[in-house]
Amino acid sequence: MSVFGSLSALRHKPIPPPPEHGARGYRDLPIAFNGAPNKEPLVALSDYGLRGENFYAQPRNPPYYAVIPGSITALSLRQGAAERLRDVNTKLAEAQLELFVFDAWRPQAVQAYFHDRWLPAELRKRKPHLSEAKLAAEVTNYWASPSTGADAPSPHATGGAVDLTIRWRGGDPLWMGSLFDDASPLAHTDRFETETDDAEFSFSNEEARANRRLLYWLMVDAGFASNPSEWWHFSFGDQMWAKLRNEPEALYAGAEASQ
């Protein structure tokens, strides 16, 4: 029997193609400001049995290899999102696996650093032919702009968005086919569902495909939405979640660290 046990079926279940326009326009969706979910506090993920380390608050974080300005060590989410992650972890425990969190609620200083400074500078070096308009569009494929108001919070500012992977309990992560935060098509969630490389399909690609499927279906079945551009990014209750799951409104507005 497979070491993945009853989870094996999810490793063979294809990830569906993303919506035609992805999450485009998600910040236009309304938010239920007065709903009960928006009153949920931010909670420490460690209190829900979840492991992780904030990727931006320590220097062993390729491709940056630096502590990011404004980063924090804490990993916290809205209570409803944390409870769902705990449920996913319970399923993974059957196969001696667990979630490992890279980032959760995020300060606006970190969001601004990557959206306004780091990624634009990196793209200008690597793709000097890009017009400013195309460069801005490419930046927003991977980094949402910082929150501009109560009606349009960046996903991680709501406490509903989380970046994570799966690892063997207390050990190595499953192979997902790219670095976390790889700002390229290699990070697209369904990247390995079709043969898009010139080379023949490899064991490495097949393993990444199976592991991305496992992560995708566990999270989606728990009520999260998958960001089509980033295999590691999932959200519950924010505007992107509402857009991708065809919900009439978002549950969470921006959250404060003391909330």
Across the chain, where does the E strand assignment appear?
A: 42-44, 51-52, 76-78, 97-103, 161-168, 225-226, 233-235
**Could you give the residue ranges of the DSSP H alpha helices within 25-147?**
79-93, 108-112, 119-126, 132-142
3-state secondary structure of 171: coil
Look at strands 51-52 and 97-103 and give their pairing: parallel
Choose, from 53, 122, 230, 256, the residue flagged as catalytic. 230
Which residue type sits at 166? I
Identify the bridge partners of residue 43 per DSSP, sorted by sequence position.
77
| Phi and psi torsions of 97, nearest 5° | -115, 165
| Phi and psi torsions of 130, nearest 5° | -65, 135
**In whole angstroms, what is the distance from residue 62 CA to residue 55 CA?**
9
Burial of 244 (0-12, 13-18, 19+ CB in 10 A): buried
**In whole angstroms, what is the distance from residue 186 CA to residue 183 CA?**
8
Active site residue 249: no
- Give the count of beta carbons closer than 10 Å to the beta carbon of residue 158: 30
Please tell me the total number of residues recorded for the chain in this structure. 259
**Relative orientation angle of helices 79-93 and 203-221, to the nearest 10 degrees:** 130
Residues that are catalytic: 230
